[in-house]
């Protein structure tokens, strides 16, 4: 495959151009290769391609040129050697675990990770002999204490959902490596526009491309980024054989999303900060979780580790579930949906939606209260989002 080296270019240039090699048609925008298979010039060429003696396209479960442009572009933005695109963010997490772990292995994970990830670890991986211990996101000592001789993987998401807790990636990478483990970071909330975990020592970066990479709430997809040895080895091997692959159409949507990622993130972050500061002053709001606020316990860490504070915030209402539901039911503009990373602002009640399937005890331990409301701030006028919330807050206080 022809490969362009974009290492000398800046982030924005790579976001727009990395990975695309023009075909003979001279297209300006990347083409969608809607083909399941590829033809060979001869039987010998087919044999060489299948054996791996020569590289090239074989079958779109594991080789598709549009998917490859997305993979190379995202790898370049994350500063990784290799990216494998998957059918969803959950498929990216599953593919990582299936590619790296075996029965008898142990995972240490933050207890603040995405609800379905907790279920994947506890109910599915557990059936295949992989056990998981959950620890507080921000307590580095607790991570180290939870490590056993058979621990292979440390897994976290920072900032976390829905409490927006920030984990110290460099410190946890150090813990992982001292114990011969890998550190995997779900970088969904920040994207490489705000945070590059590999540069902080992480071994694997995981994405739900469904969120900010798409940016407009259209497609489901995911990705794993890291070294050629890790991602190009067992992780790609699992994808090739088991097939949780990204469709070429979705890859095209995502790679176009990468072109505007940084400027979109900048706008999401600016509006989220403004709303967080405003919410902190509203009666009936007992706590606002946003790392851009000086009141956030990991504000200094976030300022060091991220280039901005992200587009998601959450806050607690004095009146518990009743107040939270009443606020949510009163909005007219903001969409009531659990998705995030969309140009349209969304509002959700984590305790009864995204985190409704985990046990009440686990939910309480993770700090997800009945009065908690999460907002993923979109790209509408911030004054309109604020007015929408203002009306709702007046109704509950
Ligand atoms: C949405 C999400 C996922 C799962 O991604 P899907 O594309 O929905 O499968 C994983 N991690 C985080 C942090 C998410 O927000």
Q: Which atom of ligand 1 is nearest to the CA of 210?
A: 7
* Range 304-328 average pLDDT: 96
Residues 152 and 126 occupy one common structural domain: yes
Q: Which atom of ligand 1 is nearest to the CA of 93?
A: 10
Residues 328 and 236 occupy one common structural domain: no
The neighbour count for residue 122, using CB atoms within 10 Å, is 17
Residues 214 and 306 occupy one common structural domain: no
- Residue 105: per-residue pLDDT: 98
Tell me whether residue 359 is in a domain.
yes
Instruction: Compute, in angstroms, the gap from residue 311 CA to the centroid of ligand 1.
Output: 15
* Range 294-313 average pLDDT: 98
Does the pLDDT of residue 355 top 90, yes or no?
no
pLDDT in tens, 380-389: 999 999 999 9
Does the pLDDT of residue 115 top 90, yes or no?
no
Does the pLDDT of residue 394 top 50, yes or no?
yes
Does the pLDDT of residue 153 top 70, yes or no?
yes
338/278: higher pLDDT: 278
pLDDT in tens, 178-223: 999 999 999 999 999 999 999 999 999 999 999 999 999 999 999 9
Does the pLDDT of residue 265 top 70, yes or no?
yes
Tell me whether residue 195 is in a domain.
yes
Residues 219 and 231 occupy one common structural domain: yes
Q: Which atom of ligand 1 is nearest to the CA of 211?
A: 1
Tell me whether residue 2 is in a domain.
no
- Residue 152: per-residue pLDDT: 98
271-298 in b/e form (b: 16+ CB < 10 A) is bbbbbbebbeeeebbebbbbbbbeebeb
- Residue 388: per-residue pLDDT: 96
Supply the CATH number for residue 161's domain: 3.40.640.10
pLDDT in tens, 319-335: 999 999 999 999 999 99
Instruction: Compute, in angstroms, the gap from residue 90 CA to the centroid of ligand 1.
Output: 6
- Residue 362: per-residue pLDDT: 79
Residues 168 and 282 occupy one common structural domain: no
* Range 345-368 average pLDDT: 87
Residues 170 and 280 occupy one common structural domain: no
Question: Which of the listed residues 85, 86, 89 should we mutate to test ligand 1's pocket, taking the one with most ligand atoms within 8 A of CB?
Answer: 89
Query: pLDDT band for position 365 (50/70/90)?
Result: confident
Number of domains in the chain: 2
Does the pLDDT of residue 48 top 80, yes or no?
yes
Instruction: Compute, in angstroms, the gap from residue 242 CA to the centroid of ligand 1.
Output: 20
For atom 5 of ligand 1, which residue has the closest CA?
89
Instruction: Compute, in angstroms, the gap from residue 114 CA to the centroid of ligand 1.
Output: 7
Does the pLDDT of residue 3 top 70, yes or no?
no
Residues 157 and 51 occupy one common structural domain: yes
Instruction: Compute, in angstroms, the gap from residue 281 CA to the centroid of ligand 1.
Output: 31
Q: List, in sequence order, the alpha helices (H) in the chain.
A: 11-17, 43-51, 65-78, 89-100, 115-119, 140-146, 169-178, 191-194, 228-230, 236-242, 248-259, 261-279, 299-305, 320-330, 360-365, 382-396
Query: pLDDT band for position 4 (50/70/90)?
Result: low
The answer to whether residues 264 and 379 touch, using CB atoms and an 8 Å cutoff, is: yes
CA distance 19 to 358: 40
Residues 223 and 150 occupy one common structural domain: yes
Ligand 1 cavity residues, CB under 6 Å: 88-90, 114, 157, 161, 186, 188, 208, 210-211, 220, 222
Residues 369 and 277 occupy one common structural domain: yes
* Residue in 205, 226, 217 with CA at minimum distance from that of residue 253: 217
Residues 382 and 275 occupy one common structural domain: yes
Instruction: Compute, in angstroms, the gap from residue 211 CA to the centroid of ligand 1.
Output: 7
DSSP secondary structure code for residue 59 in this structure: B
Does the pLDDT of residue 227 top 70, yes or no?
yes
Supply the CATH number for residue 279's domain: 3.90.1150.10
CA distance 124 to 118: 10
Residues 195 and 252 occupy one common structural domain: yes
For 317, the domain range is 262-396
From 219, 243, 259, the end of a domain falls on 259
- Residue 2: per-residue pLDDT: 40
The answer to whether residues 219 and 210 touch, using CB atoms and an 8 Å cutoff, is: yes
Tell me whether residue 295 is in a domain.
yes
Mean predicted lDDT score pLDDT of the chain: 95
């Amino acid at each position: 495959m022809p490969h362009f080296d974009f290492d000398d270019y800046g982030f924005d240039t790579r976001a727009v151009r990395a990975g695309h090699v023009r075909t003979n048609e001279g297209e300006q925008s990347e083409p969608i290769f809607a083909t399941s298979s590829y033809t060979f010039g001869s039987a010998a060429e087919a044999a060489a391609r299948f054996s791996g003696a020569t590289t090239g396209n074989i079958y779109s479960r594991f080789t598709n040129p549009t998917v490859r442009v997305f993979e190379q572009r995202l790898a370049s933005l994350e500063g990784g050697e290799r990216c494998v695109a998957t059918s969803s963010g959950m498929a990216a997490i599953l593919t990582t675990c299936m590619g790296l772990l075996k029965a008898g292995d142990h995972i240490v994970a933050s207890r603040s990770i995405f609800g379905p990830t907790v279920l994947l670890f506890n109910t599915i991986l557990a059936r295949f002999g992989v056990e998981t211990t959950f620890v507080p996101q921000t307590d580095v000592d607790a991570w180290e204490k939870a490590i056993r001789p058979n621990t292979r993987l440390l897994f976290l998401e920072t900032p976390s959902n829905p409490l927006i807790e920030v984990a110290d990636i460099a410190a946890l990478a150090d813990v992982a490596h001292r114990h011969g483990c890998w550190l995997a970071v779900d970088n969904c909330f920040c994207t490489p526009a705000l945070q590059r975990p590999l540069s902080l020592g992480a071994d694997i970066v995981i994405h739900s491309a469904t969120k900010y990479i798409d940016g407009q709430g259209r497609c489901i997809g995911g990705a794993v980024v890291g070294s050629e040895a890790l991602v190009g080895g067992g992780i790609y091997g699992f994808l090739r054989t088991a097939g949780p692959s990204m469709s070429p159409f979705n890859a095209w949507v995502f790679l176009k999303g990468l072109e505007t990622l940084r400027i979109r993130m900048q706008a999401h972050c600016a509006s989220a900060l403004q709303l967080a500061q405003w919410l902190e002053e509203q009666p009936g709001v007992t706590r606002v979780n946003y790392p851009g606020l000086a009141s956030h316990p990991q504000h200094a860490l976030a300022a060091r580790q991220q280039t901005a504070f992200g587009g998601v915030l959450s806050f607690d209402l004095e009146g518990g579930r009743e107040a939270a539901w009443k606020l949510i039911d009163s909005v007219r503009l903001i969409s009531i949906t659990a998705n995030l990373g969309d140009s349209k602002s969304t509002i959700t009640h984590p305790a009864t939606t995204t985190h409704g399937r985990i046990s009440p005890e686990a939910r309480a331990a993770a700090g997800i209260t009945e009065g908690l409301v999460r907002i993923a701030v979109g790209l509408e006028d911030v004054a309109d989002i604020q007015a929408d919330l203002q009306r709702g807050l007046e109704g509950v206080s």
